[in-house]
Amino acid sequence: MNTLKSRLSLALLVLVLASLACGGSFSTANISNAYTTANPDGGSPTTVFAQDQVFYAIVQLANAPDDTTVKAVWTAVQVEGYEGETYLDETVLTSGDGTLTFQMSNSNLWPIGRYKVDLYLNDTLARTLEFEVR
């Protein structure tokens, strides 16, 4: 029994050391809330937009060190005039705890259809917000 415990302890130690040697890091940062809105102040969450509205994604970070990055990637999912999913734009913000506001605007009317914004926390997909234009 002691031999089994010794082997398991050694294996655990090797895994921890290998993780540290590879630059492994641990962050408690998380997205505590995220939603889309047509309001630049963050009020009135919605998943339905008019063709002339600006899209806003409001992201609330919690337990985030000051060097936490959040990337918003905007995509047309199924939209009139587009063939399949189409990348539109992306923005990266660096922050600690607090509220981040991402926006996507268009000088023309938005085509009717389904859209999404993927939110990446430190380069890892954390959340996808789907919405539509009617």
Q: List the CATH number of the domain containing 100.
A: 2.60.40.1930
Residue 16 lies in a domain: no
CA angle 27, 32, 33 (to 5 degrees): 145
Max CA-CA distance within the chain? Answer: 72
CA–CA dist 40, 97 (Å, integer): 19
pTM over 0.95: no
Domain-located, residue 96? yes
87-103 per-position pLDDT tens digit:
999 999 999 999 999 99
Instruction: For residue range 7-32, list pLDDT tens digits in order.
Output: 555 555 444 444 444 444 567 899 99
Q: Does residue 11 fall inside a structural domain? A: no
Average pLDDT over residues 76-95: 96
Task: Specify if 55 maps to a domain.
Answer: yes
| Structural domain for 50, as ranges | 27-133
69 and 28 Cβ atoms separated by less than 8 Å:
no
For residue 129, being part of any structural domain is answered with: yes
Tell me, yes or no, whether 68 lies in a domain. yes
